[in-house]
Amino acid sequence: MNSSTSSTRLISTLGLVAAFSGFLIVFVFQSTKPRIDENKRIAIENAVFKVVPAGAITQRSYVLTDERLQTHGQGEDIYAAYDKNNQLIGIALSGAAQGYAGIINLLYGYNPRCECITGFKVIKMTETPGLGDKIIKDPAFLSNFQALEAKLNNDKNALNNEIVTVYHGKKTHPWQIDAISGATISSRAVGKAINTSARQVLPQLFSQLPSITQLDGKYDKQE
């Protein structure tokens, strides 16, 4: 067998292996994606009741697109939570930002009555155990989100004040987040995720709130 024939066979074999590997990767991705999406959906639905004010018992999902709220379509996911009287009690929104070890994906609650953030729940992160993951455990840090100011300006087209994370012990305003000492990067990521989402979504959502204040008809999910 000459070297030319040997090289051709080797290249052909490598090509077949590469093709098969590519097919296998696509197959595994396609077969597991529905389960991954479903697990993500369940995690988000459970998180909604953790971040909105107490008293929420039902929720309905909407999509904000072109400054309109719809029950389906492409756009920003909005999770409206209602009390036992079917009155809007809070809204859950998603946010994401780069942390120390990777992207932090979270869901945060917004109360339109006080125009404030009422809590957040990490959906996915890869922060360092014992350091970055303090953002989900530290009581003092979590207390920042009991009523974190997120008011709009007089024209209702932007946040009145950007939501920012400051060094531990330096918080002086209700729209500031007091960082965790030793986990400043992760703390800032939470603030950035919420601020980026809030400044984009809340002005668009403001004019649509009257349409979802009262839950009518059949609701989607119950706690």
- pTM for the whole thing? 0.79
Q: How confident is the model at residue 219 (pLDDT cuts 50, 70, 90)?
A: very low
The 3-state secondary structure of the chain, one letter per residue: CCHHHHHHHHHHHHHHHHHHHHHHHHHHHHHHHHHHHHHHHHHHHHHHHHHCCCCCCEEEEEEEECCEEECCCCCEEEEEEECCCCEEEEEEEEEEEECCCCEEEEEEEEECCCCEEEEEEEEECCCCCCCHHHHHCCHHHHHHHCCEECCECCCCCCECCCCEEECCCCCCCCCEEECCCCCHHHHHHHHHHHHHHHHHHHHHHHCCHHHHCECCCCCCEEC
| Alpha-carbon gap, residue 119 to 109, rounded angstroms | 5
| Alpha-carbon gap, residue 217 to 42, rounded angstroms | 23
With b meaning 16 or more CB within 10 Å and e meaning fewer, what string describes 14-28?
eeeeeeeeeeeeeee
Structural domain boundaries of the chain? 37-222
Q: Is the pLDDT of residue 2 over 70?
A: no
Antiparallel, parallel or unpaired: β 76-82 and 58-65: antiparallel
* Average of per-residue pLDDT values in the chain: 86
Give pLDDT, residue 187: 96
Q: How many CA atoms lie within 13 A of 73 on its CB side?
A: 13
What the block records as the tokens of 212 is: 């979802």
- What confidence tens digit (pLDDT) does each residue in 64-92 have? 987 688 887 788 899 999 999 999 999 99
114-136: average pLDDT: 88
Q: How confident is the model at residue 192 (pLDDT cuts 50, 70, 90)?
A: very high
